[in-house]
């Protein structure tokens, strides 16, 4: 009830604010409207930085692309083939988003193999290239021999930019003279964008983004395709930036290359970090705080300081301009936030694990193994195998070799895994057991040999494609998605078995709703199966060691594997838990072919 009243009060406040502002003569509607545009930009950047964990320092480039798309298509100015025939504002905003998304894919494609600082440097370079290109496109001459098909073409206006830019048209709405229609237009666009992003966050794609942010290798080995997922992050983030840029150009009525410099990217990144990366509320809070501080607080404070200087006769205060110190205040604010609240003003605070929590859980005896407790859908998947006889092999490895420089890690390894068998790889440290797992699951390319699973070769497949074929794994060192909940960790495991697309995640037709409900029900069944029932909403990093191992197995089982590779998974787990989970995770296990169960 209180939450409903709070939302109702917020809606009423947003609706009456511009009229109250006009009656009081505050004249802050323009600044608030600009703030909402920057919030929309920050929300788009939050997809790239907050959800997918990709540091983008050139985000202002997509802002410029959206603004100039609107300027080229919607300006009534003569002088180039695109001017003089303005298109409708309502068409141009979608074209601006599409063009920005396309260029987002173009810049995202070459960066798929780099991470961290290298990605930041590439995006920084892209952000510097776009303003320079816009300036140079103000005077284009193309000469082929003695023929000049294009001479002195002014496409972007060069340093002077595009002026004017066409406004939106609605019957009876004075966009030309009144800032209130702009306020409501931007508010509606912002609320629609917020609704779409909220649905994306709680979807199959949103979980994949956050899994890549937490651990890209683990996400790849859980069925998430990092290439397409990161490309979607770049494309969708760029589309929101292009959308905001088109509205900004039409509202401002003039655009120049100087409005899209590197400082804009940094300010947007400050908004995301200040409010809390990955938090929609935090990004809105950070965006409005920084914009209003820059556009309203610094301006009003400067006027107040100058008045004090004139009154007190202090020349230094009379000529003071605090707006020149904006970056000092931004930097100081970020330093304080990082020291006092590193997750951001509205980010989720992760509770630390109690010192004795792990010991208490480790001493708790594990429940007895019950094969009948295995979820029925998982048993059906394990028993599905076509016409191959029960005794046939599910995995055949022949002559597998891998060398790291002068170290021979795998030397002509042969291994046949029969269906339903439990096979143990036993050897001293450095024998190549983990390397063998990494080669089979696609993390490392072999130097020679063949790997055949269910009659099909796995050579050249990425880890996520091998998971889709039916091979799942755990790791020697636990590799969960630590900042995600227990339930979301298991749902990421189901990613490759779900089919929801971006439109489906946003619009949520009945088929997507049913698929999501089924996935959540199966995830809860798996958590109950491994002994984690009732902990669905706990953050994974807060689980004791034994429970983290169980969660990793539940996540692997969520991929519906035909073959499960457990990489030294039992180390550090209580003996009772180890035996129980082994029996639980092997519904069709026959007598082991070796004396060990570790790999």
Rounded mean pLDDT, 483-504 = 94
Among residues 230, 261, 292, the one where a domain terminates is: 261
Please check whether residue 39 is in contact with residue 190, taking contact to mean a CB–CB distance below 8 angstroms: yes
- Alpha carbons 68 and 343: distance in angstroms, whole number: 35
Which range is least confidently modeled, 135-149, 361-375, 571-585?
Answer: 571-585
295-303 long-range contacts, Cβ below 8 Å, gap at least 24?
295/31, 295/34, 295/35, 296/28, 296/31, 298/322, 298/323, 298/325, 298/326, 298/329, 299/323
In which element (H, E) is residue 128 found?
A: helix 116-136
- 580 within a domain of the structure (yes/no): yes
Reported in sequence order, the residue ranges of 113-179 that DSSP labels E, i.e. its strands, are 140-144, 147-153
The mean pLDDT value for 240-262 works out to 92
317 domain-assigned: no
Helix (H, G, I), strand (E, B) or coil at 418: strand
Same domain as 386, residue 527: yes
What's the domain range around 546?
376-584
- What's 370's DSSP letter? -
Asked whether residue 63 is domain-assigned, the answer is yes
Least confident of 5-9, 319-323, 390-394, 448-452: 390-394
In a domain, 340, yes or no: no
Residue where a domain terminates, one of 217, 242, 261: 261
Structure tokens given for 349: 């605070």
Judge whether 348 lies within some domain: no
Tell me if 87 sits within 8 A of 77, measured CB to CB.
no
Averaged pLDDT for residues 201-212: 94
> In this predicted model, what pLDDT tens digit does every residue of 144-197 receive, in sequence order?
888 888 888 888 888 888 888 888 989 989 998 889 999 999 999 999 999 999
Predicted confidence at residue 495, as pLDDT, reads 95
The structure's pTM equals 0.86
Q: What is the distance between the alpha carbons of residues 22 and 348, in angstroms, rounded to a whole number?
A: 37
Strand partners, 416: 396
331, 340 Cβ separation under 8 angstroms: no
Looking at residue 254, its pLDDT comes to 87
Backbone angles phi, psi at 291, to 5 degrees: -65, -45
Decide which of 261, 287, 313 is a domain's last residue: 261
pLDDT at 391: 46
DSSP annotation of 396: E
Q: Are residues 400 and 536 in the same domain?
A: yes
Q: pLDDT tens digits, residue range 410-445?
A: 999 999 999 888 888 888 888 888 999 999 999 999
What's the rounded Cα separation, in Å, for the pair 539 and 545? 13
Counting the structural domains of the chain, the total is 2
Is 514 within the bounds of a domain? yes
Q: Which tokens belong to 367?
A: 């429940």
Q: Does residue 120 belong to any structural domain of this protein?
A: yes
Q: Which residues contact 274 (CB under 8 A, 6 or more apart)?
A: 282, 285, 286, 289, 290, 333, 334, 337, 344, 345
Whichever domain contains 545, its CATH number is 3.40.50.300
Q: Residue 280, Cβ neighbours under 10 Å: how many? A: 17
Q: Is residue 532 one of the residues assigned to a domain?
A: yes
Taking alpha carbons only, the member of 75, 68, 82 closest to residue 130 is 68
Residue 430 φ/ψ region, left for φ over 0, alpha for ψ in the -120 to 50 degree band, beta for the rest: left
């Amino acid at each position: 009830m209180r939450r409903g009243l709070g939302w109702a009060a917020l809606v009423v406040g947003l609706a009456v604010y511009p009229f109250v502002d006009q009656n009081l003569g505050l004249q802050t509607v323009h600044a608030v409207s600009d703030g909402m545009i920057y919030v929309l930009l920050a929300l788009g950047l939050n997809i790239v930085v907050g959800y997918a964990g990709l540091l983008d320092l050139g985000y202002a480039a997509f802002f410029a692309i959206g603004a100039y798309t609107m300027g080229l298509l919607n300006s009534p100015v003569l002088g180039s083939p695109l001017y003089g025939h303005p298109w409708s504002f309502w068409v141009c905003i979608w074209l601006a988003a599409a063009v920005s998304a396309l260029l987002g894919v173009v810049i995202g494609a070459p960066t798929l193999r780099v991470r961290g600082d290298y990605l930041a440097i590439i995006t920084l370079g892209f952000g510097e290239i776009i303003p320079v290109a816009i300036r140079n496109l103000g005077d284009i001459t193309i000469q082929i021999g003695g023929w000049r098909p294009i001479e002195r073409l002014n496409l972007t206006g060069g340093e002077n930019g595009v002026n004017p830019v066409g406004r939106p048209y609605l019957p009876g709405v004075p966009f030309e003279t009144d800032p209130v229609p702009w306020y409501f237009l931007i508010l509606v666009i912002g609320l629609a964008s917020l609704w779409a992003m909220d649905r994306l966050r709680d979807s199959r794609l949103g979980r994949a983004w956050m899994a890549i942010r937490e651990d890209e290798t683990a996400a790849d080995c859980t069925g998430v395709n990092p290439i397409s997922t990161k490309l979607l992050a770049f494309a969708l983030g760029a589309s929101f930036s292009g959308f905001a840029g088109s509205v900004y150009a039409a509202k401002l009525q003039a655009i120049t290359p100087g409005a899209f410099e590197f400082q804009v990217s940094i300010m947007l990144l400050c908004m995301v970090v200040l409010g809390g990366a990955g938090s929609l509320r935090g990004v809105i809070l950070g965006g409005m705080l920084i914009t209003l501080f820059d556009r309203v607080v610094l301006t009003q404070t400067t006027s107040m300081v100058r008045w004090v200087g004139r009154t007190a006769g202090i020349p230094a205060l009379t000529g003071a301009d605090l707006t020149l110190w904006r970056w000092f205040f931004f930097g100081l604010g970020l330093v304080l936030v990082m020291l006092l609240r590193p997750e951001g003003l509205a980010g989720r605070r992760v509770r630390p694990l109690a010192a004795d929590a792990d010991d208490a859980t480790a001493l708790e005896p594990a429940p007895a193994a019950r094969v009948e407790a295995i979820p029925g859908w998982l048993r059906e998947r394990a028993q599905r195998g076509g016409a191959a006889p029960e005794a046939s092999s599910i995995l055949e490895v022949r002559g597998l070799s891998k060398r790291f420089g002068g170290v021979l890690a795998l030397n002509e390894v042969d291994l046949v895994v029969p269906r339903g068998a439990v096979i143990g790889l036993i050897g001293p440290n450095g024998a190549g057991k983990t390397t063998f797992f990494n080669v089979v699951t696609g993390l490392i390319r072999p130097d020679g040999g063949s790997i055949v699973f269910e009659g099909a070769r796995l050579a050249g497949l990425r880890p996520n494609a091998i998971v889709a074929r039916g091979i799942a794994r755990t790791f020697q060192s636990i590799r969960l998605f630590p900042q995600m909940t227990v339930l979301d960790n298991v749902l990421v495991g189901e990613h490759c078995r779900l089919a929801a697309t971006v439109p489906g995640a946003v619009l949520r037709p009945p088929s997507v709703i049913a698929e999501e409900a089924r996935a959540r029900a199966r995830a809860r069944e798996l958590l109950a199966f491994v002994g984690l029932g009732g902990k669905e909403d706990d953050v994974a990093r807060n689980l004791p060691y034994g429970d983290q191992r169980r969660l990793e197995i539940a996540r692997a089982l969520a991929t519906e594997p035909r073959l499960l590779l457990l990489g030294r998974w039992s180390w550090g787990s209580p003996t009772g838990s180890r035996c129980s989970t082994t029996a639980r995770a092997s519904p069709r296990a026959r007598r082991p072919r070796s004396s060990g169960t570790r790999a």
